[in-house]
Amino acid sequence: MKRSDFVAGHRKTFILLVLMVSILLSLIGCGHIDIRKSAKIDLAEQTITVPTNGFGFDARLYKALYRHGWKMGGANTRYTLNTIWYWDGYCVEDECPIYKFSISITDNRTGEIVLKMSGRHSQEAIVAQFNKALQIPLRTDLR
């Protein structure tokens, strides 16, 4: 066997191995969450307008807000919550559903987006980071 044949055969094997490892790592990684805060949320005025659908992922966010003292309404609130989310598969590690999402909170007085979250992760991780971003202590009984 020529050296060039040996190298060519191993090059194909190496490329295949790198490709398989890359695919595996992309499946194992359950997600990421990007958080951008441009201003501090005034916890003395915990009033927020929320989307009206109120099911699935939004319901988890509403419950988190409610349990931590936020009042939800449609008029004369300090903040507005906007959400976009959809199912994007399962995490290989623990088989939990993964969602792609975008969450923003706008200050109705200034028009400024004070909190922007986006990414891909499980509902539990997203809600935990949402609580943290709002400077609310994380509670483990939010289901």
C-alpha distances in Å from residue 127, one per residue of 5, 42, 64: 55, 19, 7
Please indicate, yes or no, whether residues 83 and 72 belong to a single structural domain of this protein.
yes
Domain range enclosing 97:
31-133
Please indicate, yes or no, whether residues 73 and 59 belong to a single structural domain of this protein.
yes
Secondary structure of residue 62 in the 3-state scheme: helix
In tens, the pLDDT along 98-120 reads: 999 999 999 999 999 999 999 99
pLDDT at site 109: 94
Please indicate, yes or no, whether residues 36 and 49 belong to a single structural domain of this protein.
yes
Please indicate, yes or no, whether residues 65 and 126 belong to a single structural domain of this protein.
yes
Could you tell me if residue 139 is inside a domain?
Answer: no
pLDDT at site 40: 82
Q: Is 130 exposed, middle or buried (0-12, 13-18, 19+ CB in 10 A)?
A: buried
Report, as an integer, the average pLDDT of 45-73: 86
Q: How confident is the model at residue 137 (pLDDT cuts 50, 70, 90)?
A: very low
Please indicate, yes or no, whether residues 23 and 54 belong to a single structural domain of this protein.
no
Please indicate, yes or no, whether residues 8 and 42 belong to a single structural domain of this protein.
no
Please indicate, yes or no, whether residues 86 and 49 belong to a single structural domain of this protein.
yes
Report, as an integer, the average pLDDT of 19-44: 72
CATH assignment at residue 98 = 3.30.160.670
